[in-house]
Amino acid sequence: MPAVAQCSDVGNDSVPMHRASSISVAHIPRACQVHVVTIESLRPADWTPMKLHRLAAMSMAATLALGLTACSSGGSTTPTDSASASTAPTATAGYQAEHAGGTVTLLAKGAGGTLDPKVNYTLQYWQLFQATYDGLTGFKKVNGEDSFTVVPDLAESIPEATNGGKTYVFPLRKGIKFSDGTDVTVDDVVASFQRIFKVSSPTAGGFYAGIVGADLCLTTPATCTLDGGVVADKTANTVTINLIAPDPEFLYKLSVPHAAINPKSAPVTDAGNAPIPTTGPYMFKSYDPNTSLVMVRNPNFTEWSTDAQPKGYPDEIDYKFGLTVEASVTAVENGQANWLYDPPPADRLAEIGTKYAPQVHVEPLTAYWYAPMNVNIPPFNNLQARQAVNWAVDRNSIVQLLGGPKLAAPVCTLLPPGFPGHVDDCQYTNPAGTTWQGPDLAKAKQLVLDSGTAGQSVAIVVTDDEVNKAVGEYMQSVLNSIGYKATVKAISNNIQFTYIQNSNNKVQISVTQWYQDYPAASDFLNVLLGCASFTPGSDSSINMSGYCDKTIQAQMDDALTTEQTSMDDANVKWAAIDKALMTASPQAPLITPQLVNFLSAGTGNYQFSKQFYMLVDQLWVK
């Protein structure tokens, strides 16, 4: 196989970070169906007991039955332009003014970082940005499969690409204002695209490097003009975007918060805790990451498209930080809050699933938990050491820690089941097969011995919540069992994700999650393991493994080119790339998750977008 290039050879292009999410399964059949979810212990016979914090419930044959509706995952694989069950009321059609008003209270153990939509890359705040900011295009704000559909937002329509697929001319809607009362103009659009590079957005080098002039902006962000790349015509009220090559994923990229249109007066550095004026139905009134985030109605908002940006229902959305997850569950049970962001602790699942079953919604996700291994420092700069980890990890044990086989499923590939390009394949399973069967500790131990890395110290960096700490302790047990001296380093969720990205911190292995930005194989493979996704010494370096294989990168570039003519042919190539990456083992994929949303009684109109997850601004509290 090709040698792994030293990542110091890679340029410093800004690249995608990650959409961290709350929890955690198996891809379920297409079409929504009412069913009963049973969470039960399936401890493997050869599993070695270890500390599981508050997860004692998972060591018993306890059964949890949750009556709920689960909508299938999946969706369109090409951009197009064109509820779960609850005792609370749900909208049938149109805006229902009688449910408008009140305050929605959300809870999270910690804040989600910067409030700047060009910089933040967490699901926690993307859920909020969908109700506050708008791009030229957007994802349809609906429940279910259609939520992956791209629709016109600040643009009046989605133009046909001309110039061989390299030029888009967007007509800008008239009469839209920012929350500070200023008009949205074509100059704001141009400035917003320049700002992607000036603030070093984590997706600048990944999503937007194909815009004409982006190469200079990546080299010298402060003087970015995108000359010839994004051009305003004030007379025609249009914005023209020119690409260096056709990009069949470009409409997706225009629809995420990093491409939101901000006032041209917005700062050219990360705005941090200072709110930037919004265009959507809500604006940010105040933000203190230590205590709370408050959203109120945007007084200058008038609905221009129900698909792109519908009117919201609550008058105020309060996001409070600092409570333990245990206390947050209790607050939702008592009606003191409407929803909690963090996954409910395992020892509360039986209580939630029996006494509060109608308030629980379980949603399948296109996502996975994985353990990135740093290929540039010992011991995982050795291929055999990395492959040993993949052979040793019992994915079923991690499924158990996440709540059982109805809340998580083992995975063997980087592309999750049901995702474009996914093909069942399992290189590290015993007995052999195309899907996960079990680990092979004997083979793993031999690989460690052969690698010459036995006895080395390894630190596993995880977040400090109970579930991630339990997974970290399991990984510690595995690494100790195959010949390493492993420890767990649990740090705050506020900083863990950026900490494990920065190569200066010399993280050997960690546990993290990836949730799709949009439904395309490149969003997993090229974003997470492409050469351009590694920036040494940066907190925005999503290629945490520091992996750069020039041959595999050429194959990814070829697959991206193939997408211009055939997504089906491209997905065949992505499947082969997935297999090659698994052979190289810069990561150990662990499980694919399912999301648990727990709402208070009387919280109505629950809607789940596959792109932005629960639509917080559509909740009813009246």
Classify residue 325: in a domain, yes or no.
no
Q: What residues have CB less than 8 Å from 5, skipping those under 6 apart?
A: 531, 548, 549, 550
Classify residue 207: in a domain, yes or no.
yes
Rounded mean pLDDT of 379-384?
Answer: 98
In tens, the pLDDT along 456-476 reads: 999 999 999 888 999 999 999
- Taking the C-alpha atoms of residue 70 and residue 111, their distance in angstroms, rounded to an integer, is 28
Reported confidence tier of residue 345, pLDDT bands at 50, 70, 90: confident
Confidence (pLDDT) at 465: 86
Classify residue 156: in a domain, yes or no.
yes
Full residue range of the structural domain in which residue 19 is found? 7-65+365-595
3-state helix/strand/coil string of 440-474: CHHHHHHHHHHHCCCCCEEEEEEECCHHHHHHHHH
Please spell the DSSP secondary structure of 62-94, one letter per residue.
-EEEEEEEE------SS--B-----SS----SS
Confidence (pLDDT) at 91: 56
Out of 284, 312, 340, pick the residue that ends a domain: 312
257 and 391 share one domain: no
Which of 90-99, 369-378, 490-499 has the highest mean predicted lDDT (pLDDT)?
A: 369-378
For the chain, give the percent of residues with pLDDT over 70.
85
303 and 393 share one domain: no
- Taking the C-alpha atoms of residue 95 and residue 467, their distance in angstroms, rounded to an integer, is 39
407 or 128, which is more confident: 128
265 and 159 share one domain: yes
Q: pTM for this structure?
A: 0.77
Rounded mean pLDDT of 141-167?
Answer: 95
Residue among 110, 203, 64 nearest 517 (CA): 203
298 and 164 share one domain: yes
Classify residue 412: in a domain, yes or no.
yes
* Cα torsion through 186, 191, 195, 196, rounded to 10: 30
391 and 244 share one domain: no
Confidence (pLDDT) at 35: 30
Out of 295, 312, 329, pick the residue that ends a domain: 312
168 and 291 share one domain: yes
426 and 564 share one domain: yes
Reported confidence tier of residue 92, pLDDT bands at 50, 70, 90: low
Q: How far is CA 202 from CA 118, 185, 259, 502, 531, in A?
A: 8, 25, 12, 13, 14
Range of weakest confidence among 53-57, 123-127, 321-325, 550-554 = 53-57
Reported confidence tier of residue 349, pLDDT bands at 50, 70, 90: confident
Classify residue 71: in a domain, yes or no.
no
Domain count, the chain: 2
447 and 300 share one domain: no
Classify residue 442: in a domain, yes or no.
yes
- Taking the C-alpha atoms of residue 206 and residue 385, their distance in angstroms, rounded to an integer, is 30
Rounded mean pLDDT of 522-551?
Answer: 93
- Taking the C-alpha atoms of residue 345 and residue 325, their distance in angstroms, rounded to an integer, is 7
Classify residue 536: in a domain, yes or no.
yes
CATH number at residue 53: 3.10.105.10
CATH number at residue 144: 3.40.190.10
> Which residues are registered as beta bridge partners of 597?
361
Classify residue 355: in a domain, yes or no.
no
Residue 168's φ and ψ, nearest 5 degrees, are -125, 130
402 and 502 share one domain: yes
238 and 184 share one domain: yes
253 and 144 share one domain: yes
576 and 500 share one domain: yes
